[in-house]
Chains A and B, each alone.
Chain A
Amino acid sequence: MAEQAVKKKKKTKPPVTESLLAPGHRACAGCGEALGAKLVMDAAGPNTYVTTCTGCLEVFSTPYPESAWKMPWIHSLFENSSAVAAGIEAALIAQGRDKDVNIIAQGGDGGTADIGIGCLSGMLERGHNILYVCYDNEAYMNTGVQRSGLTPFDARTSTTPVGKRSMGNQTNKKNLPEIAAAHGIPYSATATVGYPNDVIRKVQKALKIKGPKFLQIHVPCPLGWIHPTDQTIEVAKLAVLTGLIPIFEMEDGKLTRVRKIGKNRKPVEEYLKAQGRFRHLFKGTPEAEAELEKVRQIAEANIEKYGLA
């Protein structure tokens, strides 16, 4: 370390990017989904076919005639990236082009858990050798932060606004990784950009397994969640450390590994206070306190269910 002081070198223009998701894309500053996609692509490598649902990821990466993608990539519709990937797999097999390649289908939480769940279920059930990646930013961000099936309890979105009679979204996140696992697939897991090396590990692990794989990555959205752009990783970590976003792996339907939070556990308020979408929970009213208690209970249930303590 003593050498470090003399290591001040003259700054030179950095080299051209090596990432498979090239810069120049139009994701917002601090976009968790862009980070998630970059990690997934670089973990998968160039021999990967990618299908993508309609959504922020597709829009910010491919305004014609420019594309951020450095691998064969296709976007068809909002709800069919898994079915299009299945067709690609079938055609590659039929043409003898399926050796040593990966196929990744991906989408946001709306394209995956809501409108695309039919195609996703079909893909998982039929046994295709495809990794599905869901970038979960917990609302329809591309259309302006409307509620999705993965929007968390009490979150304010543009279709679950806070008002005299509303404390935001009154439903819990659909448990998509377990729904995926219930298809009898060999691998279903959650990850978060808060722990980027874990994302890479899980993508590489999943791609070594033959058959359908599902990975849901929690990706903060500074715009929709209302937090400063530099806080993306911090917010993502707090989601895990409060117990609100359990990070786990399920293999052949069984829970095989969890990210323990143990003594690092934080109160849910730390996560909620970091985001504008939960601001209404801190008015100090009895109603707000009652809601906070419900969120605490969600965290408690997760910690118990997945053994996170």
Chain B
Amino acid sequence: MAIPKGTIVEPGSSKKNKTGSWRTERPVFKHDTCTDCRICVLICPDGIIFGSDHVYDADFDYCKGCGMCATECPVDDIDMVPEVK
């Protein structure tokens, strides 16, 4: 028979759902004082902060704008700014 209705065969297919539209504020990664501590990568609840070598950014297709990365950045290298559409 066909795959039972209700079994999802594509792992990680939630990526089709772009949650970036939820955002009212966006993180701006300033790339000034970054120490490569990667706390922002670690604590992003959506797992959408990427980068290396002192340059990090969020995937704005998904970033919900919670602001945790900006709050937790120990060197204040991320600002939250209002989302302008």
Question: Which residue of the partner chain, among A26, A62, A67, A229, contacts B19 with CB atoms under 8 Å?
Answer: A26
A151 to chain B, nearest CB (A): 22
Decide yes or no whether A166 CB sits under 8 A from chain B: no
* A67 touching B66 in the complex, CB below 8 Å, given contacts A14-B50, A230-B71: no
B47 lies within 8 A of A17 (CB): yes
Of residues 200 to 229 in A, which have CB atoms within 8 Å of B's CB atoms?
Answer: 222, 228-229
B52 to chain A, nearest CB (A): 10
B64 lies within 8 A of A29 (CB): yes
Q: A9, A27, A35, A42 — which one has the most chain B CB atoms within 10 A of its CB? A: A35
B45 lies within 8 A of A62 (CB): no
B68 lies within 8 A of A17 (CB): no
A69 lies within 8 A of B12 (CB): yes
Question: Which residue of the partner chain, among B18, B45, B50, contacts A34 with CB atoms under 8 Å?
Answer: B45
Of residues 10 to 30 in B, which have CB atoms within 8 Å of A's CB atoms?
Answer: 10-19, 22, 29
Q: How far is the CA of A9 from the CA of B55 in the complex (A)?
A: 7
B67 lies within 8 A of A229 (CB): yes
Of residues 58 to 85 in B, which have CB atoms within 8 Å of A's CB atoms?
Answer: 58-59, 61-62, 64-68, 70-72, 80
Q: How far is the CA of A22 from the CA of B66 in the complex (A)?
A: 17
- Give the interface residue-count category, chain B: 35 or more
A7 lies within 8 A of B11 (CB): no
B66 to chain A, nearest CB (A): 4
Q: A25, A27, A28, A29 — which one has the most chain B CB atoms within 10 A of its CB? A: A29
A59 to chain B, nearest CB (A): 12
Residue of B nearest to A11 (CB): B57
Question: Which residue of the partner chain, among B10, B22, B31, B47, contacts A8 with CB atoms under 8 Å?
Answer: B31
* A231 touching B71 in the complex, CB below 8 Å, given contacts A7-B55, A29-B64: yes
* A67 touching B71 in the complex, CB below 8 Å, given contacts A14-B58, A23-B14, A32-B45: no
B47 to chain A, nearest CB (A): 3
Q: How far is the CA of A304 from the CA of B22 in the complex (A)?
A: 44
List the interface of chain B (C-beta within 8 A of A). Answer: 6, 8, 10-19, 22, 29, 31-34, 42-51, 53-55, 57-59, 61-62, 64-68, 70-72, 80
Closest 5 CB pairs of A and B: A230-B67, A19-B47, A22-B12, A14-B50, A24-B14
- Beyond A22-B47, A25-B46, A66-B14, 12 additional pairs, beta carbon < 8 A: A7-B55, A9-B31, A14-B48, A17-B59, A21-B47, A22-B13, A24-B14, A25-B14, A67-B12, A197-B42, A230-B66, A232-B66
